[in-house]
Structure 1
Amino acid sequence: MPALPRPAIGPGSRYTARASTTRRRPARHTDVAALSRVLTARDLWLLRMLHEHRVLTTHQIASLAYTSIRSAQRRLRTLHQRGVLDSFRPLVQTGSAPEHYTLGASGVAVLASHSGCDLGDLGWRPSHTGRIAYSPSLGHDLGVNELLIRLTAHGRTTPEAGLSFWLSERSCARRWGDIIRPDAYAHWYEGEKLLPFFLEYDTGSQPLGHVEAKLTGYAAFATQAGHRPALLIHTRTASRDQALRRRLAPPARTLGLFLATASADFTASSPWGPWWGPLEPGDTRRTTLTGLATRWSRLGPASELEPSDADTALTLPVPPLPPVSEAEA
């Protein structure tokens, strides 16, 4: 069987997934009611995050919800042994990859019970983890999550700045799929400044013309007040970033988009920093996310964010950070 296509660099590059077989698992089905004695508010938050974003690594979970990688590993190992989480660990050419966590069978049952939904509403199957592990989009999905998790985790050490709202690609498609299909939607804040934005995470696999064709949909997306979120395009390399900027600058200006680009060559450690270059007439020098919010006065949050009668407990947005609890620190 030929190998599935993988990006040449970055998350998801050149690895073959294998199941995690070295950990003890429950010999029989776990009593879901019994788990209520041991699952914390942070554990339940993690289940919702995994349902929303499909897969998170140990390091990503630790940066959002734990004080150290070791404390995260201990708790995740316990949840894995109880069947609440499932996991796989990709094989890489050098070194070792972190554990990649997904929802386990018991975790899905707990999530359905806690949300008052039928088990079938979650769309989970026993092959869930395997499908994610071998998905050609795994590297892309991990890259999107890593970028937004870095923005979210920044708020743990800098309370006046961070990510206050985050929707996955699937949630975006459910709300706006007839117009646009971004890889994520989020709100960055710093003080009183707010940058609502759609994210296109570009891996370089699509022709430039395909990326350009998406701009028409984003231009059509405006609220009744005429405001719209920004569009951020994040690429893997500076050369791809420059190629996109040359191709997209004319249509972005014609359509009146609030569009900025950046690449992983600069954003790896501080994606909120001065790496984002706006595509508009005048000053195109790179600036911070907060600088973009200051520059674009007619930004506005997307529509259809408020809960409606069509929403269930499983479709409501998940807070990017877990509930604060001294007992869980």
Structure 2
Amino acid sequence: MTPALPRFPHGPGSRYTARAAFSRTRPNRQVRNINLAPLVQRLTERDQWLAWMLHEHRVLTTQQIARLTFPSIRTAQRRLRILYEYALLDSFRPLVQSGSSPEHYTLGPAGAAFLAAQAGCDTAELGWRPSHTGRIAYSPALGHDLGTNELLTLLAARARTTPAQLPLWLSERSCVRRWGDLVRPDAYAHWCDDGWREMPFFLEYDTGSENVARVEAKLASYAAFTAATGTRPALLFHTRTASREAALRRRLAEPARNLDLHVATASADFTTDTPWGPWWLPLHTPTRRLPLAELASRWPELSPAYRPQASDDADSALGLPVPPLPPSDQASRP
């Protein structure tokens, strides 16, 4: 077994001491030797969508995957085990101080080969390496990535069962590909709850690992983005604690006003498992915390930074956004 890494005293790595050892076994297959032909008859549309989701968002837990597309955790576990045995997915379990952590899934060697075949490229161009899962497991940004994905999968899960919609969710990597010379948010998404206008927003998922001055410096980049593109998404800061949220609000209030940015904050102390709820506090003239969708009515000037077009990167599947819900769920939404 690979020895555990030292635990960070604070920051995104404090909850996770990653190990790249797996609790399950399967044949050791090199990606170049994988025969994709048998997978053609075995993979459903949902399986293929999940592979693209893991390519887009890097790592998702069993619970996060289940809330996106399966009726129960047990059903998800059964199918994910099969996809692991196919090598479509890889998985690992980080060590935690007490109890056990859920299975964490990443794109496996057969999944990388399958997506590369669909995109008409090789796995290197896809950005996948044989060390892919180990690098994620040991990454100090693992907690940050999981926290961002937790917030967005909760929104997507609500869109499965209510008239709410999450039509677009771009990962940090997709944001960097589109706007990296201007801004590098942790996610970009469109949210619309029943009866409200669409709410386009950039998300900054703050773990407390950056000092407040560095967070403040990001505001100038978002102001430059608005000036360069003529678009105006909201900017949401989500923190781990209410005290961190209060510290950010004190530091960001004046520069955000001077830069004419629409900023709202919330913390995990409030949002828990309902991030769409009345937990978001506008940075200026705050009267009360508002539901996520209601922010759009407070800021009628908002406009989306991006809308998918059929002609976007039509020659490469790598350039297209991945739908937050699988095709079957998209078709059966209420």
For normalisation by structure 1, the TM-score amounts to 0.92
Q: For 1:144, what is the secondary structure of its paired residue?
A: helix
Match of 1:294 among 293, 297, 306: 297
Match of 1:24 in 2: 26
Closer/same/farther in 2, CA of residues 182 and 10 from structure 1, 3 Å limit:
closer
Contact 2:69–2:329 (CA under 8 A) maintained in structure 1: no
CA distance in 2 between partners of 1:182 and 1:225 (Å):
16
**Displacement of 1:116:** 2.3
**Match of residue 317 from structure 1:** 321
Tell me, in whole angstroms, the C-alpha distance in 2 between the residues paired with 1:242 and 1:265: 12
1:66-77 matched pairs, under 5 angstroms: 66-77=70-81
* Partner in structure 2 of residue 207 of structure 1: 211
Distance 1:259 1:65 in 2: 31
CA-CA distance at 1:119 after TM superposition: 2.7
Which amino acid in the other structure matches residue 326 of structure 2? Answer: P
Change (3 A) 1:115 1:27: closer
How many angstroms apart in 2 are the aligned matches of 1:264 and 1:63? Answer: 19
Question: Where do 5+ consecutive residues of structure 1 fail to align?
Answer: none
- C-alpha distance in 2 between matches for 1:7 and 1:319: 37
Structure 1 pair 226/26, CA: closer, same or farther in 2 (3 Å)?
Answer: closer
CA distance in 1, matches of 2:111, 2:21: 18
Residue of structure 1 in register with 2:56 after alignment: 52
1:239 matched to 2:243: yes
| Shift in alpha-carbon separation, 1:277–1:61, aligned structure 2, 3 A | same
Aligned to 1:129: 133
Which has the higher mean CA deviation after the structures are superposed, 9-18 or 111-120?
A: 9-18
Contact kept, 8 Å, 2:200 with 2:303, in 1: the verdict is yes
Q: Secondary structure at the match of 1:63?
A: helix
| CA offsets 1:54-85 (integer angstroms, 9 cap, x no match) | 11111110000100111110111001111111
Structure 2 unaligned regions, length at least 5: none
**Cα displacement (A) at 1:309:** 4.6
Equivalent residues of 2:6, 2:17 under 8 A apart: no
Aligned pair count? 325
Query: Could you say if the C-alpha distance between residues 19 and 2 of structure 1 is closer, same or farther in structure 2, counting changes exceeding 3 Å?
Result: closer
| Equivalent residue runs for 1:150-299 within 5 Å | 150-158=154-162, 160-191=163-194, 192-222=196-226, 226-280=230-284, 282-299=285-302
**Contact 2:280/2:292, CA 8 A, preserved across alignment:** yes
Distance 2:165 2:189 in 1: 10
In structure 2, what is the equivalent of residue 100 of structure 1?
104
CA contact (8 A) 1:84 1:105 kept: yes
- The CA deviation at 1:313 is 0.4
The Cα RMSD (Å) is: 2.4
The 5-angstrom pairing of residues 75-114 of structure 1 reads 75-114=79-118
2:49 maps to 1:42? no
Q: Quick check: 2:312–2:319 contact (8 Å CA) kept in 1? A: no
* 1:82-112 deviation per Cα after TM superposition (whole angstroms, max 9, x unaligned): 1111111111111111111111111111111
Give the partner amino acid of 1:69: I
* Deviation of the 1:15 alpha carbon: 2.3
Shift of 1:10: 7.8
Residue 90 of structure 1 aligns to a residue whose secondary structure is coil
| 1:120 to partner: Cα distance | 2.4
